[in-house]
Amino acid sequence: MSAKSTSKSGLLAKAKAYLALTKPRVIELLLITTVPTMILANFGKGFPNLGLVLVTLVGGALSAGSANAFNCYIDADIDKIMGRTKNRPLVTGELTKRQALIFALVIGIFSVAWLWLTTNFLAAMLSLCAILFYVFVYTLLLKRRTPQNIVWGGAAGAMPALIGWAAVTNGLNVSAWLLFLIIFLWTPPHYWPLSMRYKDDYAAAGVPMLPVVRSPRVVGVQIVLYSWALVVSTLLLIPASGMGLIYSIAAVLSGGWFLLEATKLYNASKSGEVESPMRLFHGSITYLTVLFVAIAVDPLLHFAFF
């Protein structure tokens, strides 16, 4: 292999390592909620300006990537203990902690500046709050100290809804906060099944995720309770935002399915260890996707026909 090819290969590997720091799969999930939020915020006017949507997505992706990179930097010591995270760039040595810290700072500052210049000050400040909350409140303060870590950490994951709404309207209203609430309440029943699957990893790393410090039955009860609260919050969006038949049907049917799956997990937890908690984890992603697709389609159909 030539020196030039080796150099290109090295650069590509380094770029992939930096990308891995941002946790692209997490960002993808966050962005799924942003576009529908912007469409709903533009209710009655059709699809929002495409340029605005694109710059908001770029800013949101950089903001989330920065928070995730900071998380990798801070949690490098426990990532090497857990099988699920042992291949992250700081564990494998593909990147140094200094490189990760500089990268997180640069894209974080750029994301806030970008949103300020291309959208508005409110969206930029919400982006900054999301980064700071995820780094200082969730990662540094809560994650290693309380089983409620993921509950409050969900607030950072729900921020893209507020950022998307603010980018379109330069303000926040009841509908924006309901979208925030939906994602906030969705996070625990989404993440706790994953924590059940990797309970031993979290225990070895000294992270008190709920399944580590409570019995499977207690975790199952909490998942059901949060699932009910989640479904109720999705139904509140109907009168608050004037949602039509498409969203209403999607919210009721998908919500009913999600409650059924959560109840199945709870029933399994009564006998001890849950054999397949990842079924609800993966199902929760499908549920959120279906719900937010309906949030996008409903106002667009209303605009097209009314």
DSSP 173: -
Q: Which structure tokens are listed for 84?
A: 């699920």
Cβ atoms within 10 Å of 253's Cβ, excluding its own: 12
Tokens 């900054």 belong to residue: 128
Amino acid letter for position 206: G
Average predicted confidence (pLDDT) for the chain = 93
Distance CA 300, CA 302 (A): 5
Residue 45 placed within a domain: yes
CA angle, 57 then 58 then 60, to 5°: 60
Domain count, the chain: 1
Contacts with 250 (C-beta within 8 Å, 6 or more apart), sequence order: 290, 291, 293, 294
Residue 6 placed within a domain: no
pLDDT tens readout for residues 73-99: 999 999 999 888 899 999 999 999 999
- What residues make up the domain containing 288? 17-305
Q: Provide mean pLDDT across the span 257-270.
A: 95
Amino acid letter for position 273: E
DSSP 233: H
- Does residue 1 surpass a pLDDT of 80? no
- By three-state DSSP, how is residue 299 classified? helix
Report the predicted TM-score, pTM, of the whole model to 2 decimal places: 0.94
- Give 28 or 9, the one with higher predicted confidence: 28
Residue 3 placed within a domain: no
Instruction: Give helix 216-241 / helix 174-197 axis angle, nearest 10°.
Output: 160
Residue 12 placed within a domain: no
- Does residue 154 surpass a pLDDT of 60? yes
Amino acid letter for position 225: L
Please report the sign of the dihedral spanned by the C-alpha atoms of residue 98, residue 100, residue 101, residue 105: positive
Residue 52 placed within a domain: yes
- By three-state DSSP, how is residue 149 classified? helix
Residue 4 placed within a domain: no
- CATH number of residue 135's parent domain: 1.10.357.140
Residue 166 placed within a domain: yes
Residue 269 placed within a domain: yes
- Cβ(3)–Cβ(259) under 8 Å? no
- Does residue 157 surpass a pLDDT of 70? yes
* pLDDT value for 174: 97
